[in-house]
Amino acid sequence: MTGTQIAWAAVALLLIAGETVAPGVFLVWAGIAAGGVFLVLLAVPGLPLVWQAVVFCVFAAVLVPVYLKFLRGRGRPSEQPLLNRRGEQLVGQVHVLEQAIVDGRGRLKIGDAFWIAEGPDLPQGVRVRITGVRDMALQVVPAE
């Protein structure tokens, strides 16, 4: 095995190991591309360094989009998709306006937290149904 082959194998291992330090799934694919160059060098040992770099760039340019298109987000669906999405958990609930909605904005008190409420102008004390969330403001309509 030549020094260049060992160098590409080491680069591949370092990039893949680097994924544990800086997770984001990008370094894995760059590491696999470096491993691909190592395999190419096993087949073509005298490949000039410039062509090795070209092969690495081509492998990386192909592998990263393949990951983004076909493999990203294919994990197991969450049993609690609204976890840490407090505003979205409130959709459908009915609450009393703490502060009247004037010019489209008012305030709701839910538990010990105050939320901005957006919707049609309504007086204080009216029951409203939460229909959505936009920019941390609850979208409301009068409850029926």
Evaluate whether 55 touches 13 at the Cβ level (below 8 Å). no
Q: What are the tens digits of pLDDT across the range 46-56? A: 899 999 999 99
| Distance of alpha carbon 30 from alpha carbon 27, whole angstroms | 5
| Distance of alpha carbon 128 from alpha carbon 132, whole angstroms | 12
What pTM, to 2 d.p., does this model score? 0.50
Instruction: At 44, give phi and psi (nearest 5°).
Output: -130, 80
Q: Looking at the chain, which residues constitute the CATH 2.40.50.140 domain(s)? A: 86-142
pLDDT at position 38 is 94
Strands 113-118 and 105-110: antiparallel
pLDDT at position 28 is 85
CATH fold label, 86-142: OB fold (Dihydrolipoamide Acetyltransferase, E2P) (2.40.50)
Is 90 exceeded by the pLDDT of residue 137? Answer: yes
Secondary structure (3-state) at 93: coil
Q: What are the tens digits of pLDDT across the range 7-61? A: 999 999 998 888 888 766 678 888 999 999 999 999 998 899 999 999 999 999 9
Torsion of the alpha carbons at 100, 104, 105 and 110, rounded to the nearest 10: 70
